[in-house]
Structures are given as structure tokens and as C-alpha cells.
Structure 1
């Protein structure tokens, strides 16, 4: 296999040249217009950002991609799946509110926002993972699988469980339904926080396997022998009393993300864009963002999500550490900024497993635009 092509542009501008224009030139040079968009539904997978966090990608960037697709006759929509944790994006109504609050609406981006796994995170497609070591059938947001073409716009940053969040993280974890996210995060089953349970029995009514019962204290409990880990009880609880175990080790979590990415991408035209800007140490799922750990680097695009992630992490690791950042305060174990920021996880596990699955190539040719 030859080297994959990754296209790159820096963030310098001059009179008459804007960052959106540079992004347009980048993706066209990378071949986005080679895709046949005519009359096709195009899912643009993006992280809308948890309200309060200001490191997420500005919607101005997504409008560039939306306009290219629409001008080519395509039907684009911006999409993400509901979160597993408590926050402003745990159901479709709050998720859309959060997206709009952060500027992702039809007036600023030129297309609609669709939450791919539905109102409560239960609208999912079951997708076979051929050769999956940990996942045999991935649970993917239905609207994502209904799309004809799949595109990612990735905010490249640090991540506490995967080392960094790039294309594969945005695809694999981001496209999982609530049950899918629970499968990746957990080797166990959900549990009830009795302090938050109000005995409304919504979880009981939504359990198809008779796993939920109520004791003398009128609090719910889950029989893990009967529970299949579908996550519907989490989505049905309006009081955040049902939680995932979150007990999967990071190496296995990273491999599951690669396998979920395979489920999303296999057999479909796809294209990927990453912006290495505002490289905060933690995920945009946080309702806050810390000082970036490195300076802004630039914009990258490729048909190969593995090569794209490799190019971004290589470019990031060449940067100096920002004074006052949490990375500066951490003990330096290696020359890798992301392992130094989160020494409890190894990002290379996800990359290597994705290569094993045939998702892409670690070797790349960087082409500056």
C-alpha cells in the first residue's frame, strides 16, 4: 500500500483571503468534489460543543462544506448522536438547543441539524463489524447510516480516555447510539443512583427484558443477569438516575472506537477534515475548556481518516508547549504531548487497530496547499 495523501494549509491570511476561503481551497485540492453529491443525502458529522465550552469548531467552517455540497447538487445535514453522560446534549431536543446556542442552525450554516439517534438515543441501525475483535454488531445512529455520503469535520484536541480526539474518535464514538456508546465505554451494565431515583417507573416501562424492578424503598434496581445493555433506561430517565458503568479499560475502548468507525465507513463514500486549533486538553463534551496545550497549527483534509489523524498528531507534537497550560505542569514521560497530558491512555492503540481493520494507512504524504 502506498502512502495516503493528506492535504494541509496553515492559518496565515492576507488581505482578501479568509480562513473559510483557505478551507474551501484545501478541501477542493484534497478532492472533495470528486464525490458524486448529485441528489445524495450527505451526513456531516460534527461535535456541536457542550454549552459553556468555547473551544468547539465555529459554524463558519461547516458552512464552507455545506455550500460546496449544495452547489454540487447534494443534500447535506449536520449531525451528531446523543451523549451517554448527563449534560445539555443527552436528548434530541436539548441537543438541538445546544447546537443552535453554539451557532449551528440553518441560518448560519445553510443546512439543518439532525440528531442521528433520535429523541432519546434509541433510533439506531445495527451494523455488522466484519473482523471485529470486540464488537460484532455496532449500534449506529440511524440517520448517519441512512446517508449516502459521510463527511467528518473534526476538532483535533486532547482527550482524557483516548489521548486525543480526531477523525476516528469523532466517527467511532460520535456515531454510536446511546447503547453503542455504552458498549464502547463499559464492559458492564447500567446502574441506578438511588439518591436521584424518584420512582417514576419510566425506566421500567421502557425495559423490554424485565430487568428493572422496585424494592421496598420504591427505588429502581437493575438485574444484570437480565439486562442486555441497550441503554433505553438511560434515555427514558428524566432525572439522570440511570448511569453507565464506564469501566472499560482505555486500550479496549480505543479498539472498540476503531471497530465502530469501521461500521460507519465500510462500503460508503467518505471524506474527512480536521482543524488543529484551540487544542484543549479535554474533549468538547466538557462544559468548559482549559487553556490550549499547544499553539494553533492549521487545517488538514484527506480521504484516509487514519492518515489524517497521524498527520495531525505528528504536526501537533512538533509544536512548543504553551506556557501556563496543564501540559506544562505535567511530568514529561515522552516527547508526545498527548501521552504526557494523559499518561493513562495510549492513542496509538486506536490507530493500529484501525489499520488492522483496513480503515487506512499510517504512512502519509503531506501536501501543503
Structure 2
């Protein structure tokens, strides 16, 4: 396989050329205009940020891409799927409110926000991939209905994946609640009996009659439970918990296979912003001091190559004094999260045909 081209621009700006103009120039140089957008539904897959977190990408970047797609005739929308954990993005109503609160609205971005897996996280499409870990990926319906996928990614640390970039945004981010459950867990949800108030909402939404109430507390029959995670979102007191018991290898490989399900058989384009590199995911309702200085913006047709390029570039940077990362050199993401192995995700993604880790970096 020949090297994939990854285009890069730094964050230097001067009168007459601001960062938004540089982003537009970057993606054009990377070939985004070669995609036929005319009358095509185009999903910009993004993370809107958990309210309280200030490291997520500004909406201004999304507007640059949305305006460009519209100028090329595309029908563009911003999208993400609901979360598995209970926060401000666990259902479509709260998720959209969180997006608006963080600056993502039709008025600021020029396009609509659509939560891909619906109000309760149940709108999904089973995508057959017959992978080593996943046979059918459960992807948010609106993402699978799009003709073209653009991932706009904040490259940062992650406590389970090592880092989050294009593959994580595409894979984990596009999974429905059941899909996220499959990637995060080799098990089933469980009930915190101390929190349970026996309201019955979890049982009413369970399609497999897996929940009963012995001793007036909910209990999940794991033989009947299929791990869809629907019960998690409806519990008013957060008594239903996902089981995050999954190996690092399994987690990363499942995420790669979900990303494959999203990009296969249709055009895709990927943009990574190596800025505000916080130690943890933007799903946190807070963000710590960045680990490294801001680096730049990257664009490519290859989501594996762009993540590999960002990881390499990030690991060449000095550590910011006073941040959570104590070691000064080497693999910053592994040092920050020693139990993770980010390379495993990219290796598996390359193996199944998502892209290649062998890249040529072209500076614009």
C-alpha cells in the first residue's frame, strides 16, 4: 500500500490570513473539492463537548467546513450520537441543548444539528462487517443515511484509548447506545441497588423482559439481556450502570471496526485539530491544562494516517510545565495513561482496511 497523504498547516496567523482561512486553504489543498457533494447528504461528525468542558472545538471551525460543503452543493448537517454514560448528552433533547450552549446552532454554523441515534439513542442501523470482534456494528441511523462522511476531530488524550482522534470520533462516536455498550463492555449493564427507587422505567423499555423487581429493587437477568443499554438512559436516578469491563485490546479493535463500518463504501474526509490537547476526553464536564503546546491542523482522506501523523507530531512536542503529565519525553499518551495502547487501534484499523499508518506529511 502506498503512503497516504496527510496535509498540515501550523497555527501561525498574520494580517490578511486568519486561522479559519488557513483551514479552508488546507482542506482544499488536501482535495476535499474532488468529492461530488452535489445534492448529497453530508454528515460532519463532531463532538459538541460536554458542558463545563472548554477544550472542545469552537463552532467556527465547523462553519468553515459547512460553508464549503454548501458552496459545492452539499446538504450538510452536524451530528453526533448520544452517550452511554449519564450526562448532558444522554438523549437528543439534552444533547442538542448542550450543543447550542457550546455554540453549535444553525445560526453560528450555518447548518442544523441532528442527533444521529434519535431521542433515546434507539435509532440505529445494523451494519454487517463480519469483523474479528464485531459482526454487525450498531451505528446511529442519520450517520448511515448520509452519502458522505466528514470527521472533524479534536485530537486529545483519552483514558481508555490513549488518545482520541479520527478513529475514535468515527468509531465510538458513531455508535448508538447499544453500539457504545458493545465497544465499552464484554458484559451487561447492572443495577446499583442503593440508588434504585423501583420506578419501573427500566423494565418498561426492556424489549427482552430481562428486568424484574425482587425485594423491590430492579435486577437484570444477564441471560435475557442483550446489552442494548436502553435502560441506562431512562433511569431517573442513574441506578443502571454500564459494565466497562473490557480489555484495552478489545476496546481498541472494536472501535476500529466500528470506524470501518462508518467509512466503508462511501466517500469520507478527515480533519484533525491538534490543539488544546487535554489529558482526557471531551466527554468530561471539565478539562485539565493541555499536555503540550498547540501544534496545528491536519487533513486527509485516510483516518488512520491522519491519527498516526498527529500522534507522531504530538510526541515530538515538549510538555507544558504544570500539566498532569510528569514525564518530559517519549510517548506522551502512554505516559499519561499507562494501561492504554493507542497503537493497537491503528494497527487493527490498518489490518482491516480502514487506512494505513504509512503517511507522507505535506505542509501547507
Once the two structures are TM-superposed, the CA of residue 267 in structure 1 deviates from its matched residue by: 0.3
Counterparts of 2:322 and 2:142 in 1: how far apart (Å)?
42
Q: How many residue pairs are counted as aligned between the two chains? A: 364
Match of 2:52 in 1: 52
Once the two structures are TM-superposed, the CA of residue 258 in structure 1 deviates from its matched residue by: 0.3
Once the two structures are TM-superposed, the CA of residue 272 in structure 1 deviates from its matched residue by: 0.2
Match of 1:367 in 2: 362
Once the two structures are TM-superposed, the CA of residue 261 in structure 1 deviates from its matched residue by: 0.5
Counterparts of 1:247 and 1:215 in 2: how far apart (Å)?
25
Are 2:202 and 1:203 equivalent residues in the alignment?
A: yes
SS at structure 1 position matched to 2:272: strand
Counterparts of 1:15 and 1:238 in 2: how far apart (Å)?
52
Counterparts of 1:156 and 1:167 in 2: how far apart (Å)?
8
SS at structure 2 position matched to 1:294: coil
Moved over 6 A (4+): none
Consecutive unaligned residues of structure 2, counting only runs of 5 or more, are none
Match of 2:266 in 1: 268
Counterparts of 1:194 and 1:113 in 2: how far apart (Å)?
37
SS at structure 1 position matched to 2:325: helix
The 5-angstrom pairing of residues 96-175 of structure 1 reads 96-130=96-130, 132-175=131-174
Q: Deviations over 1:28-69 (max 9, x none)?
A: 000111111111110000000000000000000000000001
Name which of 304, 307, 310 aligns with 1:309: 307
SS at structure 1 position matched to 2:282: coil
CA contact (8 A) 1:69 1:75 kept: yes
Match of 2:350 in 1: 355
Calculate the TM-score normalised by the size of structure 2: 0.99
Counterparts of 1:179 and 1:208 in 2: how far apart (Å)?
13
CA RMSD in angstroms, aligned pairs only: 0.9
Counterparts of 1:238 and 1:29 in 2: how far apart (Å)?
49
Counterparts of 1:193 and 1:89 in 2: how far apart (Å)?
21
CA contact (8 A) 1:116 1:142 kept: yes
Calculate the TM-score normalised by the size of structure 1: 0.97
Counterparts of 2:90 and 2:9 in 1: how far apart (Å)?
35
Once the two structures are TM-superposed, the CA of residue 195 in structure 1 deviates from its matched residue by: 2.2
SS at structure 2 position matched to 1:151: strand
CA contact (8 A) 1:55 1:289 kept: yes
Counterparts of 1:66 and 1:228 in 2: how far apart (Å)?
38
SS at structure 2 position matched to 1:327: coil
CA contact (8 A) 1:274 1:299 kept: yes
Counterparts of 1:55 and 1:228 in 2: how far apart (Å)?
35
Are 2:278 and 1:280 equivalent residues in the alignment?
A: yes
Match of 2:231 in 1: 233
Counterparts of 2:24 and 2:203 in 1: how far apart (Å)?
50
CA contact (8 A) 1:122 1:235 kept: no
Q: Deviations over 1:253-277 (max 9, x none)?
A: 0000001011111101000000000
Counterparts of 1:107 and 1:240 in 2: how far apart (Å)?
34
Counterparts of 2:217 and 2:107 in 1: how far apart (Å)?
45
Counterparts of 2:15 and 2:261 in 1: how far apart (Å)?
44
Counterparts of 2:313 and 2:269 in 1: how far apart (Å)?
20
Match of 1:190 in 2: 189
Match of 2:338 in 1: 343
Consecutive unaligned residues of structure 1, counting only runs of 5 or more, are none
Counterparts of 1:148 and 1:43 in 2: how far apart (Å)?
8
CA contact (8 A) 1:42 1:75 kept: yes
